[in-house]
């Protein structure tokens, strides 16, 4: 372990204030879970707000949900679930001290994370083209197909606009977490190349994995709430 803090007298991979390597590892996981609990409440407030207005304007939110691209969203869910698998395999490789394995799986995870962001960008561009972006170009009349029934011809378009506000804030915040996740993984990728991690000590890889899986869980709830709640 490379660190400026005092090292345990009996074990060079344990910091001085820990009893042993197990306690050190457990503390690192507990710290990450504590942070994730605050993240649950951070995203949770948005979900509660979403549910309040979904109950209040069920018809408008259903119409807004129909504007979403179900298949691109589903593809993105599959991409994220796959990235969670490769992240788990990366942590598994770290547990066996397999540095090449760590780098390989971290690279695949990052590529999948960037693929997710790319697909999300395609969706955002399509929504901007459809004039669905609140306060920027949200229009009650679609550009090309003014005669066709659409969410924008809802009797109360601003309720549909409210759905789009929730959509952009929630997916935008999630995308920001993805960008942070990819940045952290790229950092760990470099450190792995420099031989920082061993089979006994690879807490940063493990905690980064916890973060990555958590961001996956957020999307697991965002996808049905924004894309799939079309009926009833």
Contact footprint for another protein (CB under 8 A) = 20, 22, 26, 29-30, 33-34, 36-41, 44-45, 47-48, 51-52, 55-56, 70, 74, 77-78, 81-82, 84-85, 87-89, 92, 95, 156, 158, 209-210, 213-214, 216-217, 220-221, 223-224, 227-232
* Residue 6 DSSP class: P
- Least spacing, CB of residue 81 vs another protein, in Å: 5
DSSP 187-225: HHHHHHHTT---SS--HHHHHHHHHHHHHHHHHHHHHII
Nearer to another protein, 94 or 182 (CB): 94
- Least spacing, CB of residue 36 vs another protein, in Å: 6
Q: Which two tokens stand for residue 182?
A: 């990819």
Three-state DSSP class for residue 232? coil
Nearer to another protein, 169 or 229 (CB): 229
Q: Which two tokens stand for residue 108?
A: 């695949």
CA distances from residue 11 to 8, 18, 152 in whole angstroms, order as listed: 5, 10, 65
Measure the CA–CA gap between 164 and 104, rounded to whole angstroms: 38
- Least spacing, CB of residue 27 vs another protein, in Å: 10
- Least spacing, CB of residue 15 vs another protein, in Å: 17
Nearer to another protein, 193 or 224 (CB): 224
């Amino acid at each position: 372990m490379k660190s400026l803090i005092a090292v345990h007298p009996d074990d060079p991979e344990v910091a001085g204030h820990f009893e042993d390597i197990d306690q050190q590892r457990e503390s690192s996981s507990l710290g990450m879970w504590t942070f994730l609990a605050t993240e649950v409440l951070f995203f949770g407030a948005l979900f509660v707000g979403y549910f309040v207005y979904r109950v209040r304007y069920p018809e408008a939110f259903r119409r807004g949900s129909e504007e979403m691209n179900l298949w691109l969203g589903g593809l993105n869910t599959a991409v994220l679930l796959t990235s969670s698998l490769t992240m788990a395999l990366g942590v598994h490789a770290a547990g066996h001290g397999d540095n090449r394995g760590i780098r390989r799986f971290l690279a695949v995870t990052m590529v999948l994370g960037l693929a997710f962001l790319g697909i999300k960008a395609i969706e955002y561009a399509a929504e901007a083209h459809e004039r669905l972006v609140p306060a920027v170009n949200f229009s009650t009349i679609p550009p090309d197909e003014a005669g066709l029934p659409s969410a924008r011809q809802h009797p109360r378009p601003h309720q549909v606009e409210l759905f789009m506000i929730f959509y952009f804030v929630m997916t935008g915040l999630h995308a920001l977490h993805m960008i942070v996740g990819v940045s952290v993984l790229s950092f760990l990728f470099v450190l792995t190349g420099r031989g920082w991690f061993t089979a006994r000590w690879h807490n940063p890889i493990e905690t980064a994995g916890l973060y990555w899986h958590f961001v996956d869980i957020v999307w697991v709830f965002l996808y049905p709430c924004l894309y799939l709640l079309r009926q009833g």
